[in-house]
Structure 1
């Protein structure tokens, strides 16, 4: 069996794997009154088509890809298509091998969303079949690949998209990814930064509180500051900013840490949302303009 660059398999509690997935369920959150929200969306709604690829062979193999793909031809649609294509490539199983670089990639028109999704869906499915042929003699029950790239929210200034993926390729458990982004409507580009990284020290009380609240809820017990040192993979007690750029939401700034980023697999994907009143002094200028004005 080939080794993989992005998906690691280690022993951990299966229950927390489900918790990790639960933390990145696609959502469409609304703020303000229903009338206000409907009024905004009537003026700003970004049109997409839901495109799906799904192949399932009883309980042994499942490959599913679902994408909200832009149906327009304006510059924002072009930018979102570029983002979606990049995510499909980033989560492309054949390209995750050690021998990266040999896997074929989609070269068709980006205007044809179905062809794009079908290409990567079929290639991932072929890969699963080849892996299962090697592993079935070891008693592996089945392999799966479940990828969703969905639009979860929008305002008149930005869209929120979220990539959520769960892959099981054998071993003790599968691996999950939850990667939300904001896409600026005026430029069609992903918002590259929302937090001033030079203010990581100032953010420590906020990050520690968010992590404690997440763990307390997950474990149904109160977590103290002193508990974190033994629970997290952090140096000198400093919680880093997540590699996934925190995203703007109606409720505040949402932080998502990937598996293993600050703790063991059993910790799940730590996530929490901080009100803008607590973090506005740490926002980048562009993020503040999008979220607060």
Structure 2
């Protein structure tokens, strides 16, 4: 038997249960992964609670929970080339990641090899957050010599955006609650509190101006950047919906390109990029992990171990 996190209905209160089911098996063109860790993302609980969002992602109850996983291939289906039993991998399986076993179709779902030196819990933190960050940095055109404003910088996507922008040669001005300022300084960013008066604080900290902005939470950062003269073509947003303010760019993880995840994973293996994990939870404490996730003040990532 195999454990599987199941949700009977989309909506609030969010009720998740761990059930035991017959082990799934890899069919033609598929591999089965014994999951060792699953990364949590804000979109996971939002899909589980909001029917409209669930429909947009093709999630229908009863369903599983989560997207990001890492583990070891333990079964290879007919016709699969390039993967063998024992390969360490990570990837995405919408609505199925929180389970002992995940079956994915090679070439149709996100599946990457885990580099030596990258732990499973770190790899499980990558798929959504790292791809979303890479897409936003690319959309904003962040490059050497730029000064970039990053809103919501201490969260799961923000920690990647900050480091990717720095590695591109940019100076990063980052908004977060004061409790996270020292943490962001440790990553190399120049922190500011969010909230009323943000544009004025940005002008004081960066008197030479801002070249680009990436808003990871609502629209406050995008609006502040536009008000101080940043071109809309260099303001990227991930949480403002399809019509961001002032002609800014709405971007998502799917815009990252196929090379983004392997490149970021390699940088982690080389020690050039870190993945801050706030807490690791065993599967038995999943409800606690989801409660922390929903609170919205996670520093870096939350990971569930299986």
TM-score by length of 1: 0.26
RCO greater where, 1 or 2, for CA within 8 Å and sep 6 or more?
1
TM-score by length of 2: 0.26
Would you tell me which structure has more helix in proportion to its own residues? 1
